[in-house]
Structure formats: structure tokens, C-alpha cells
Chain A
């Protein structure tokens, strides 16, 4: 079973702005 790739839009970046990729 192939799992779906991680969906960047689902992450909550509120507390992790410094980790957020530029193109997200």
C-alpha cells in the first residue's frame, strides 16, 4: 500500500513559522 505524500497545506504553521518552507 502506497501512502499519500505529505500535504503541506494540512500543517498548522502557527507556532512553527521558522520551519515553514518558503514556497508553502
Chain B
């Protein structure tokens, strides 16, 4: 049972399963604690109106029990055994730390989420790339000071005119919880065309990513911590570092939820011979994202599948006389958007956009179907008796000189006899 075809064998839209595309993938981080071993302290809530306490840990990259490597970002997220990546201590400004995740293929993503082991950053930015990290564009910003940090308004309104615009919000930037806080960015939430995604190339483009980059720009600052004796009005976290807590970013789970992008023409993605993830394309499509028609399937332009139409690529009709064809938009429009394929290099002495008639110098053998390789026979016009080499493509009749007859013009007509002149091979009998 192939999800790309129904019971009758007709093509229908198919999509790969929804996954956490980040799971098990390597994340490049600009900072990781433990080289050399370092001590980091954090404030832990205890609940029940009991005061928060300060706890300190050693991070040692060489000791697996005390290491917090980047691989912990995308490993199995278990509440019983929470593993966290942790940055170096942030002693001086700037406090930028970057996480870069390469998906290795285009995905259509629905959300990006981060579960923190430290307090959530005060400012962070999410960027996306659609070209494997060559260029980056903003995807979403979080900050309690959107204008100051990112020069964007807080919670701007999204309309149909700016659906591909990154927003900034001050949500999710609260200090509390001190650990376990979540930042979740939903790519379609609040975007007007999200309800009509099939018909919105803009949003289809918006959710397409090959790489995700998260930049933590600033941790919660001391004055926002409000921790009494250890707090300070300074903008510099270092002022409380020595007395209460060190500042670092720590994340237990980094998820990117979405589907391998196959444009509705594959139900799964597989690894190719080189280990690259590619769509298992159906509907006569090919390419990493099933983003083009297979050779010889150019009778109509490639299109993404949707709920109503599979839009499969259709083969050109060349009557078995050509192996290649091309698409012609003008012919396609003239046909009422039905057929635009033009056969190339028609063989077996055929011609025409569908190799559906005989080329000059040949005529159709009506005893055979047009698909037969000998459907076209040579005219075989007589070199002297015929006035040319091209015969009637239907009957095979060559154009005869005066007084000459026969399909190939090889005999003198009744009342004529052969002369010695090749120019007038038959002359009237006196």
C-alpha cells in the first residue's frame, strides 16, 4: 500500500510523517563549558514559599558525569534523566552564544522549541537558512526590549502583506521558572494564510528551512533577578556572579518539529548512497524535494501536490518514437492547459510534436499502428520518373513527370513510351 496512490492506482498527495527533525542531529555550538573545568552556580526554586537556594556544580568536559556537551541538546529527552548542554560562564559582554542545527535537507517546519535548564535568556533570536547555511534570515525574536535589542516593535501585527516577516515578542522571556522554562516558536501561528496553507506559496516558503540558528543574546540581568542580597541594579551579570550565581545558558532539549519537504510527492525520506537525506519521490517526480519532473515527463509543468490534486508529472506522448521531450508553455496554454510536451529527435522516420506523422521522404503504412517502428515507409520515388523525392505522406504517391505513372513514378503511362531523355522520360507515342 503506497500512500501516494489510491486503491484504483490514481495519484494522490502524500507527505512524510511529522518528526522532530533535530533529534539525534549534531548541533554546532559557539560555547560549551568544561574546557577547562569550571564551576557554575545557579539559583534553584524550592517551592512552598521556601526561599530559593544557590547550588553550584563543576562542569568538566573530560568527565562524562560532569560534562554538558552539545549532543545533550538533541538526545532523548527524558524527565527522569534530563541531560543539558551548558555554555561557558558569561563573565563579560557580549553574551552571545549560538546554536546551529543543519537538517541536511529542506524541511517544512511547524515549530522550534527550546527547553531550558537555566533561566530563559532575556533576549534570543531564531534565524533560518534555506540554502544550507549560505544565507540566513530572521525567523523570530524574543526579548523584553524588542526595539532596543532587535529594532523591532513588540508583537507587531501580521497581515497578508507581511506574512514572511519575523516578529519580536516579550512573551517567554520571564525569569521564572528558573529552570525548565520553554520557548516555543510556532511558524504558522498568527499568520493569516496559515488556514489556507495549500494555496499560499509565501507561507510554504516561510516554513521551509535547511538550517536553524538560535542566538542567545543576553541572559536575565541581575536587576531582573531580584534575589535580595545578591541582586544588583547593574546591567552586568558579573556583579552578582561572585556573590550569588554565575551566568550561563543551559538547554535540555532543542526540537524542530516538521516534515521532510517533498512537495506532496513522497511519503518518506531516505538516505541516498552518499548518506544524504532525500525524498522517495513518486508521481513521476525527482530531485531532493521531488521538485521537478522526471525526464520525458514534461507534458505539463511541475506543480506541488495539494489535497484536491496530486498534480503528478505526465509523460510526453511520442508514440514510442522518442526518448526525450521538452515542455512548451505556449502549446500548453493553447491546448487549454492540457498538454505542452514536444518530442525531441523523433526516430523511425517520424516527425511532429508527438512523432505522430512521417517525416519528409516517407509515408504512412496504414497497415501498421503509428507506434510501430516501421509505421513510416520510404517514398522510394524513381530518380528519373519522379519530379521530386517527397511523396504524399498518406498514400505514398510520388509526384510524377508528364507521362509517367505508378506509386513511385517508375513506368510510362498508357499511350506513352520511354524516351532517351532523363528530363522527359516518357513521350507520347506518335
Contact = CB atoms under 8 A, between A and B. Distances in A.
A11 B425 contact: yes
Residue among A4, A6, A16, A21 facing the most chain B CB atoms (10 A cut-off): A6
Contacts of A6: 382, 384-385, 404, 410-412, 418, 425-426
B405 interface: yes
A1 B415 CA distance: 11
Q: How large is the interface on A (under 10, 10 to 19, 20 to 34, 35 or more residues)?
A: 10 to 19
Nearest to A19: B422
B410 A11 contact: no
Q: Per DSSP, are chain B's interface residues mostly helix, strand or loop, or mixed?
A: loop
B420 A5 contact: no
Interface in B415-430: 416, 418, 420-423, 425-426
A11 B384 CA distance: 10
Nearest to B408: A5
Contact of B420 (A1, A3, A11, A20): A11
Contacts of B413: 3
B383 interface: yes
Contacts of A1: 414
A12 to B, nearest CB: 4
Residue among B385, B404, B412, B422 facing the most chain A CB atoms (10 A cut-off): B422
Interface of A: 1-8, 10-13, 16, 19-21
21 contacts: A2-B411, A3-B412, A5-B410, A6-B382, A6-B385, A6-B410, A6-B412, A6-B425, A8-B384, A10-B418, A11-B384, A11-B421, A11-B422, A13-B422, A16-B421, A16-B423, A19-B383, A19-B422, A19-B423, A20-B422, A21-B384
